[in-house]
Every structure is written in structure tokens, then in C-alpha cells.
Structure 1
Amino acid sequence: MISASARLLRLVSVLAARPSWTCAELAERTGVTERTVRRDIARLREIGYAVESEPGPWGGYRLRAGSRVPPLILDDEEALAVAVGLREAALSGALGGDQAALSALLKLRQVLPRRIAERLEEMDAAFVHTPRTAEPQITSGMLLELAAACRRAERARLAYRDGKGRSTVRDVDPHRLVHTGRRWYFVARDVDRDEWRTFRADRVERVQPTGQPVELTDPPDPAQLVSRSTANGPYPLTATVRLPLPLEQALRLVPATVGTHRPDGPGATVVEIGGPDPDGLAGYLLGLAVPLRVLDPAAVREALARRTRELLAAQSDD
């Protein structure tokens, strides 16, 4: 005699296999009486499964989408397929930066049977992702470790390789993971420096929990912190420009990963944009194709004026 919970799982699996079943068919497939089937159907409805019934000799039961998510029954192949799909969504950022796929994958991997988890690890080792625009790759395993560090609310020891290839080990208080559409960033408080930092997730070599609980006080907005660090951090020169666009339109023209924005009245936005040199910044600004104004520095303003004159001269008749 199987337990009631196992019987319910079996009944859900059978119901999901085709659009409709008679009570007699369900009783035969699950090895119980029709009375037990009706009682189990009532129990499934109580815990959230939307099981519809049709009266009459040709009627039966069918499973439809409900108003809330009930317990989900997956066999080995289905669980593996869902895990692979979630991993791909997390790595590609296909669902945006809300981390929904990563969070779901973290929950799923915590409850996967060992035999399925091992198959997923084998696939992780075999798959190769072609990075977009030569971006570095990051494994789903490291993403899950970083996500788990954020969820645990405890200090972690981070082995990190910086942009110059130097390896360091530091204690951090994890906060959030942020996806910019190009890369994943790990936002955490550097304990020794007592400041909030952004770490490129693909440069994290190891993250180890310390068991020391932490309570973050007044943490920063992680998306804004990443935006500021990626927009101007790696560049030797920063230009301040005024766009004749409201903030929402300015963000579409110059993404938050490229510039730091602040509104300047209802119809304009001031943006700080990093670049390698005045000429490079002038070329980027010219490509925006809007009547912007360079507020600072003068070298970028002069380079933009020179490029504009050259463009006009090339269009004039000989």
C-alpha cells in the first residue's frame, strides 16, 4: 500500500499526461478505487491544483492552469530540461536583470536528486558558450555560488582577480548580483576597506562562506552602484554633456552602463560619459545624432566642434 502523498503525486502525473481522464481510467492507472480517486481529486483541489470535472457517462477529469503555483511534479528528464533552460536564461540575461531565472535555478538545484545534479554538472562541463562581443564567460556554478552567498546573509571570503590579473583574497559582505545585459556584477561591502564595491563575477575565482552572520545597514542601490562604476570607472577621461531629452529618453539613447544620468529640468538630462580621449568621446557623441551640449571638458567640446566642421566640409560642393 503506497502512502497518500505518493498516491497524490502519481495522480498528478497521470492527469498531466493527457487532456482528459474518466474516473474509471484514473482508478485503473493508479491502482485504487473510484471512490479513492474522487477523494484524492478533492485533496488536490485543496492544495492548489485546478482539476475540472465534467458530469455524465462520458465526463471525466482534466488538469488546467490554476490561479496559483501548486507543487510541481517532474520526472528526471523534465527536471534536467528545466534546470538547463534556467541556466541558459541566467547566463544570457534573456529575462532581463531581475535575476528570476538565477533565483529559480538556485532553488531547483538545492532539491535535485544527486543523480540529476551529477548529469547537470556533466553538461556544464561539456557545454561551451560563445560570448557576445568577446565578453568573458562565467559558469552557472559560480553564479549559483554568488547568489547563495547573497541569500545566506553571512560574510564570505572572496578570491578575486582584478583587471590587471592580480589575485587577492578579501572578506566581503555580499549584497546582490546585477546583470547589465553584457556581464554579471557582484555587489558587496569590502570589509577591510569599509566601502561598497562591484566585482566582475567572471573574475571571481572562489567564494567561501565564513559562517559569520552580517546585517547590512543602509546598503546602496546595487543597480546604480554598478552603473556608476561601469560607466566611468575604467576610462581616463569623463565628459559631462547635456541632452535635450527627458531622463527616460536619455536612458534609451545612452544606457546606464555607458553614462551616469541626472535630470536637468523636465526636458533635459545631464550625462557623464567615460572615454579614452577627447577625440574618441567626440566620435561617440557625434553618433548620438542629437543637438547636445558639452559642458565639460573643453578638450571634448573642441574635438566635437572640429569633427562637425570636417563633416560639414565633406558635404559641401567643390
Structure 2
Amino acid sequence: MSDRLGSVMDEPRRRDLPERMLRLLGLLQSRRTWSAAELAQRLHVTERTVRRDIERLRTLDYAVTGTTGTSGGYRLAAGSSIPPLSLEDEEVVAVAVGLAMASRGGISGLEDASLTALVKLEQIFPARLRPQLAALSRATSAAPGNDAAQVDPATLSVLAACRRDHEIVRFDYRDRTGRRSARRVEPHSLVTLHGLWYLVAYDHDREDWRIFRIDRINAPLRTHRPAERRDLPTTDAVSFVMRSLAAASYRYTAQLTVDLSAADVRAGIFGPIPGAIDDIGPGRCRIRLTAESPEMVTQYIALIAALGAEFILDAPPDITDRLHQLGTRLVRTRSHD
């Protein structure tokens, strides 16, 4: 009698089988172990239906194992092949961000594979997600050798969509001093540098180009108002971010006069520096380093000193004290050798 009742209860659910199977797969992929009762409650079906759906997944090469006992339940284990994944919308955006960064050389040797995987995502996911994925892949730029900072995927999606559609976006912004302001900008590009995400945009209220740390952007809103098509004052978005950071003054600043040309210094240091380098004569340049932490400024002074050229340093005690401590440790290490 109970089996007949279960079959009658299950009958209307068969029409919902494809959607229910995807939901079941998503649940199994989101947590290590689920009991049959938990799955039945989430899917609004009987435990009998859950057992049948588990068997259907197994026929599709999903390695679903069952365990007994008080902590038992169903578990999705590693199989011999990679079956299709069931991802939530935010998870798709997060994967797309990672693939977009890797396709631009974030991880050596994975550029082509990352790009083809991103294209596959754009092709197979629902129409509502494809514009967001395409916007992220086109709007994201990265300087070589830097890892992307962790930011809210929803914020990235809104900014990338506004950039794609040439649309003004509003948001609340907190600068490095903690001061908050309301901004109305035209997004141009998303850039990562020194492990941080930046938005390059034209600020309407200030009538000039600006960069914004994306982790300091709160509650971005689409205005659905068209933005003008503007050209950056530099060749590309990464160059603009680097130039803007070099021109800014942060809490700790040091200046070096080095007996090397600016080109020789740039060639000797891998990647960008937090500051500016300018030639002041044949075989001589001036370097301005500025950052929010004394450790970063100290590290770059050490890199420049390692080039072997004579230099004159003008820096605050927080920097010079750290350099003296570093020199003492290096001498102690050499004496032990």
C-alpha cells in the first residue's frame, strides 16, 4: 500500500524531472554529505523519489556513494571522468572572473585553455548570464605577475555590464582615509594591479578620469543613462592605473637619486613599482616610491639597491630604521657563512 501511495505521489513529479535532477546535482556539489530526508525536504519530494533520482545520476556516470549510520547519507565522490557541473549564477560569475584573468597571462601556460573554457561558459549557460560573462571577459585587464584581489562578484558584474552598455553607474565610495562620497561615473575598464582590483572611469562630478579600488565600492546601481564614448588619456587601462598610482602620495614616501638611467632601472626590476622613475641626466634618474605601508617602500628600496649602482636616499625614519635592521640581518647572515 505504501509503495502504491509513493508511486501516486511521485507521478506528478515526473514532469519536473530535468529541473529536479539539476537541483539535486547542485545540492550534492555544494556540500559533502546529505541525508535522504534532507534532500527530500529541499526538493519537495519523497525519499523514494530521491533514491530513484540518485540512481539516475549514477547511470549518467556521477559517482554518488551512500553511507549508513547516524552521519550517513549521499555523497558525490570523484569519478573516472568529469561530469557536467551545476553552478549557481554567482558561481558562474566567479569562475568567469578567474578564467578571464588566467586567459590574460595570470598563470603561465594556461592562457589558451582558460580562454576556450570561458568561451564554452558563454555558449552553454542561460541567456541571462551570457551578457555578464561577455562583459567581464572584455572589460577585465591585468598587469603581468599579479593575482586578482577578492571582490564581490555582483559588484564586478554591475560595473562590467555598465561598461559594456556604455551606461552611467552610481555607487558609494570610501577612499583610503575612510571618507565616503557618492560617485556617478562612466566605467571604462576593470584592472588588477599589485593584487588589487581597480575601476577606470570618467567621473562626471569631477569632470576627469579617475581610478577606484573596487573593494571600496559599495552598492553600485545601474542608471540606464547612456555614457559618452571617451578615449583614455593613455594607451591602455593598465598604464593609466600605474600612472595614477605613481602620481598619488600615500602615507610613506621615499626618494632615491640613482646612478642609472630610468630604462636601466626598469629593466632590472621585474614588474611595476609603486611610484615614478624620471631621468635627470645622462645615466642618472630620480625614483619616487610611495605606499600605505613602510614595508612595501623598504622592499622596493632594497630591490633598487640590489642593482649595484650608487644612490642617495631621502626617506623618513620608519623607512631608514627598517633598512638598517635589514642590513644588520644580512651582515649577520654573511658572518655565519
Matched residue of 1:156: which SS? strand
CA distance in 2, matches of 1:149, 1:171: 12
* Percentage of pairs with the same residue: 29
The aligned counterpart of 1:174 is: 187
Matched residue of 1:256: which SS? coil
List gaps (5 residues or longer) in structure 2: 1-82, 134-145
The aligned counterpart of 1:291 is: 308
Closer/same/farther in 2, CA of residues 92 and 164 from structure 1, 3 Å limit = farther
CA shift at 1:256, angstroms? 1.7
CA distance in 2, matches of 1:89, 1:142: 17
Give the TM-score, by structure 2 length: 0.48
Q: Equivalent of 1:77, from 71, 84, 88?
A: 84
Q: Equivalent of 2:98, from 88, 107, 114?
A: 88
Q: Equivalent of 2:238, from 207, 218, 223?
A: 223
CA distance in 2, matches of 1:202, 1:276: 16
Q: How many residues align?
A: 224
Within-5 A mapping of 1:119-198? 137-198=150-211
RMSD: 5.1
Give the TM-score, by structure 1 length: 0.51
Closer/same/farther in 2, CA of residues 217 and 313 from structure 1, 3 Å limit = closer
CA distance in 2, matches of 1:275, 1:84: 29
Matched residue of 1:192: which SS? coil
Letter in 2 for 1:250: R
CA distance in 2, matches of 1:211, 1:149: 8
Contact 1:162/1:203, CA 8 A, preserved across alignment: yes
Closer/same/farther in 2, CA of residues 218 and 161 from structure 1, 3 Å limit = same
CA distance in 1, matches of 2:295, 2:189: 36
Deviations 1:136-158 (A, max 9, x none): 62133322222222222122212
The aligned counterpart of 1:73 is: none
CA distance in 2, matches of 1:107, 1:152: 22
CA distance in 1, matches of 2:103, 2:279: 28
CA distance in 2, matches of 1:94, 1:297: 38
Within-5 A mapping of 1:1-318? 77=84, 85-90=95-100, 95-96=105-106, 108=121, 112-113=125-126, 137-221=150-234, 222-231=237-246, 232-242=248-258, 244=260, 247=263, 250=266, 253=269, 255-262=271-278, 270-275=286-291, 281=297, 284-288=300-304, 289-294=306-311, 297=314, 303=320, 307=324
CA shift at 1:187, angstroms? 0.7
Structure 1 range deviating more: 190-199 or 211-220: 211-220
Closer/same/farther in 2, CA of residues 298 and 111 from structure 1, 3 Å limit = closer
Closer/same/farther in 2, CA of residues 251 and 303 from structure 1, 3 Å limit = same
CA distance in 2, matches of 1:107, 1:188: 30
Deviations 1:271-315 (A, max 9, x none): 321157999856642344123454664769x959x949x759877
CA distance in 2, matches of 1:106, 1:212: 29
